[in-house]
Amino acid sequence: MSSQLSLWSEQDVGWSVRESQRARRMVVRVFHTGRVEVVVPLRTPPRLIEGFLARHRSWIERKRAEARRTAAPPEPFPPLAIELIACAERWRVHLAGGGGPVRVRAAGELLTVGGDAGNRVAVRMALRRWLQERAQAVLAPALDACARELGFCYARMVVRCQRTRWGSCSARGTISLNGCLLFLPPDVVRYLMIHELAHTRHMNHSARFWQCVARYCPEYRRLDRALLQGWRHVPAWVFGEGTA
Ligand SMILES: [Zn+2]
């Protein structure tokens, strides 16, 4: 379910209400872009959602004001360069033009975008595909090394490009990492890896889980906060906000 609630008069900021099978109670999040998302348990009556939002209205407004203050200036699209601080790479983007479908070629630290660069959606999808491949190439050996070093076992790793989660670990030991981690500092990425590896032993966020994380990553509290703030490092083009 995704619906618009018109409790606020401003039209510039997206609202969404998402029903979640896993949600036990209502949760509201304000993203760094100012977008507001309410996650509610299945079949929550709209009346309850509106009451919940009304109760948290001043908190939401404060968060949105904060988001507006710290929002990055709009970037050009396609981007001139892509900075991957997790692996200390800076890729220049070159628009080669020409016909045919949009394609991205990587060589050295140059990304050549061929085809119609005016097709913003196609360019974004192509750049995202490249980001996902790059993330696979960078994160897979890093996770492997981290697991070996600390004595963890996992079944396999997949890279996704999601807007809401940095990582997850399934009961079968599949660790899923967000390709956007490449935009975050290396110590934050390592913390997330340790966090997900710890889930191979504790499939919850219990006190024992956090003890396990703390053992391998004493600074986990600071890094977990940095991770939560991490979305502001992700360039707007990845999810298409504002640009296309
Ligand atoms: Zn977790």
Q: Which residues contact 243 (CB under 8 A, 6 or more apart)?
A: 74, 75, 77, 120, 236, 237
Q: What H or E segment, with its residue span, contains residue 106?
A: strand 103-107
For the ranges 23-37, 65-79, 164-178, the lowest mean pLDDT is seen at: 65-79
98-107 pLDDT, tens digit each? 888 999 999 9
Domains and CATH numbers, the chain: 15-70 (no CATH), 81-238 (3.30.2010.10)
Q: Which of 64, 35, 60 is nearest to 239 (CA)?
A: 35
In this structure, which long-range contacts are made by residues 56-62, counting pairs with CB atoms below 8 Å and at least 24 apart in sequence?
56/28, 57/7, 60/28, 60/30, 60/36
Average of per-residue pLDDT across 154-175:
94
The answer to pTM > 0.75 is no
* Spacing, Cα 29 to ligand 1 middle (Å): 18
Nearest to 226 by CA among 194, 195, 196, 187: 187
The pLDDT value recorded for residue 151 is: 97
Pairing label, strands 174-178, 156-160: parallel
Whether pLDDT at 5 is above 50: no
Checking if the pLDDT of 6 tops 80, the result is: no
How far apart are the CA of 5 and the centre of ligand 1, in A? 30
The string of pLDDT tens digits covering residues 113-152 is 999 988 889 999 999 999 999 999 999 999 999 999 999 9
One-letter amino acid at 81 equals A
Q: Are 119 and 98 in contact (CB under 8 A)?
A: no
**Tell me, what's the pLDDT at 242?**
44
Q: Which of the 8 DSSP states describes residue 204?
A: S
Structure tokens at 129: 């595909």
- pLDDT at residue 162 in the model: 85
**pLDDT for the residue numbered 9:** 37
Separation of 180 CA from ligand 1 center, angstroms?
A: 17
Residue 220 pLDDT > 50: yes
**How far are the Cα atoms of 108, 211, 219 from residue 224, in angstroms, in the given order?**
33, 14, 9
Tens digits of per-residue pLDDT, 35-90? 888 999 999 998 999 899 889 999 998 988 888 787 766 778 899 999 999 999 99
Separation of CA 3 from chain center: 22
Q: Flag whether pLDDT at 229 surpasses 60.
A: yes
Mean pLDDT of the chain: 89
Q: What separation in Å is there between the alpha carbon of 12 and the centre of ligand 1?
A: 33
Percent of the chain with pLDDT over 90: 66
Residue 76 Cα to ligand 1 middle (Å)? 35
The CA radius of gyration of the chain, in Å to the nearest whole number, is: 20
Given pLDDT bands bounded at 50, 70 and 90, which one contains residue 191?
very high
For residue 214, the CA-to-ligand 1 centroid distance in Å is 13
Instruction: Give the distance (Å) from ligand 1 centre to CA of residue 202.
Output: 9
C-alpha 168 – ligand 1 centre gap (Å): 7
